[in-house]
Structure 1
Amino acid sequence: MPQSAQPIGRRERNKRDKLERIIAAARELFDANGVDAVTTQQIADKADIGTGTLFLYAKSKSELLLLVQNSGYVAALEEGRAAAERTTGVVEAVLAIIRPVVECNRSHVENGRTYLRELVFGDPEEPHHREALMLTLKTEAAVAAVLCRDKRIGPDDAATLAQIISAIMFLGMATTINAHRTVDEIIAEIAHRVRVMLPGEPDVLPT
């Protein structure tokens, strides 16, 4: 019989509690004011911890943004994977994965665009940045798995196409010209480009 999970110790529970408070406080302040207008002191005060403790979890405000956005991205990716499982068309399933990610990123446009800049130009040795990169790879893997439903696409080509689709998605979210466009408009733009790459798929957007 499998062994039961070991109970979490008090110290670990305290660490998790502080982390959850930090994420909740930073998310609320970032959503209300934008990341540029928020200070680390405000986040620490709202989380009811000292700034020294805050910096044990994230060394800068940029890392705090990565921490917050990553937590939302995890949930968005799981939602997208589940939605893709319920669809049949390849393009429709790809867009089902992408839509929650775009929605997560666009919940606050400037914060989302700042997150993408940090993802591209930030320090890859920083743990929250590394997690963001891993989430990108997991998204590409999910897209590649869907592309392999098409028997004409082998695993290597699927991986390459998934990287291209990921780049299309990130460009759609990050480019200045799309700053005021809705999620539906961005998804429609992505869908058009994906259909060009994958001819023969029906012109259907997931609902």
Structure 2
Amino acid sequence: MTATPAVPGRRERNKQEKLDRIIAAAGRLFAERGVDDVTTQEVAAAADIGAGTLFFYARTKGELLLMVQNALYADALQDGRDAAETLDDPVTALLAIAGPIIHCNRTQVENGRTYLREMVFGDPAEPHHATALDIAARTEEVMAATIARTAGVVPEEAAVLAHIVSAILFLAMATSADERDNENILDDVRRQLTALIASTPDQRGLPSGHSRS
């Protein structure tokens, strides 16, 4: 006999409804003006809640931005993962993963930079920060699996390479000037990935897990 899922109570529904309004209001204001030019009071007013209620969901604008952006980054990762699944060239497959993430990060440049800063320096005990770190970890896992599949290296080496790729992608998004478009950034990432993948044992015609003597 299949158990019937529990129906959320009124309190839970009200809480979720407020959360949805907060995310929608913050997302709209941040997209229009950037996180630095929006106050928490403005977000609360746009969400039709009190400032104290907003504080219950997010204590700072940084946490609000994490709340808004996490779902977008998770969707971008899934899009990249889907695009890479049918590709056999390691650099092309990794760029397929990176492309949607770069686009997500660069939709509003300062918001993207602030998101990365909050991910690195935010409170590790804060739930939205923990979610951001989980997305970053899942991104590396997807990249590692892609490298292992397309470059023919063992999982341990693929994980190390994925960590390097993640650092390349992070720096490309965090330090790129406003006037540089996504294609310029992708080109820079492509050049670095090409050099990195070319240095792997399999790409040099060596057995995986070994180096030249």
Q: What TM-score results when the alignment is normalised by the length of structure 2? A: 0.88
Paired letter, 1:20: D
Higher RCO by CA contacts (8 Å cutoff, separation 6 or greater): 1
Q: Distance in 2 between matches of 1:2 and 1:185?
A: 53
CA distance in 1, matches of 2:9, 2:34: 36
> What does residue range 53-68 of structure 1 map to in structure 2 within 5 Å?
53-68=53-68
1:94-133 alpha-carbon deviations (Å, 9 max, x no partner): 1111111110100000111111111122221211111111
Cα deviations by residue, 1:130-182 (Å, 9 ceiling, x for unpaired): 1111110000001001011136311111111111100000100011x533211
Q: Distance in 1 between matches of 2:8 and 2:91?
A: 43
Corresponding residue number in structure 2 for 1:37: 37
Q: CA RMSD in A?
A: 1.7
The structure with the larger Rg is 2
Question: Unaligned regions of 5+ residues in structure 2, if any?
Answer: 205-213
- CA shift in 2, pair 1:156/1:12, >3 Å: same
Q: Which amino acid aligns with 1:127?
A: P
In the aligned structure 1, how far is the partner of 2:92 from the partner of 2:7? Answer: 42
Write the distance in 2 (CA, Å) between the matches of 1:152 and 1:40.
49
Q: Given residue 55 of structure 1, which amino acid in structure 2 is its aligned partner?
A: F
Unaligned runs of 5+ in 1: 202-207
Are 1:172 and 1:178, in contact at CA under 8 Å, matched by a contact in 2? Answer: no
CA distance in 2, matches of 1:90, 1:134: 24
TM-score of the superposed pair, with normalisation by structure 1: 0.91
**Any conservation in 1 of the 2:90–2:151 contact (CA below 8 Å)?**
no
* 1:103-118 correspondence runs (5 A): 103-118=103-118
2:179 corresponding residue in structure 1 = 180
Closer/same/farther in 2, CA of residues 142 and 50 from structure 1, 3 Å limit: same
Label 1:4 to 1:86 Cα distance change in 2 as closer, same or farther (>3 A): farther
Alpha-carbon separation, structure 1, partners of 2:26 and 2:151: 45
Residue 4 of structure 1, CA deviation:
4.2
Instruction: Find the aligned partners of 2:197 and 2:129 in 1 and give their Cα distance.
Output: 32
Counterpart contact for 1:178–1:186, Cα < 8 Å: no
Distance 1:4 1:193, change over 3 A: farther
Q: Tell me: CA distance 1:4–1:173, structure 2 relative to 1, closer, same or farther (3 Å).
A: same
Write the deviation string for residues 5-58 of structure 1: whole angstroms up to 9, x where unpaired. 332322222222111111110011011111111010100111111111111111
Q: Secondary structure at the match of 1:123?
A: coil
Q: Does 2:172 correspond to 1:193?
A: no
Range moving further from structure 2, 35-44 or 116-125: 116-125
The amino acid that maps onto 2:16 is R
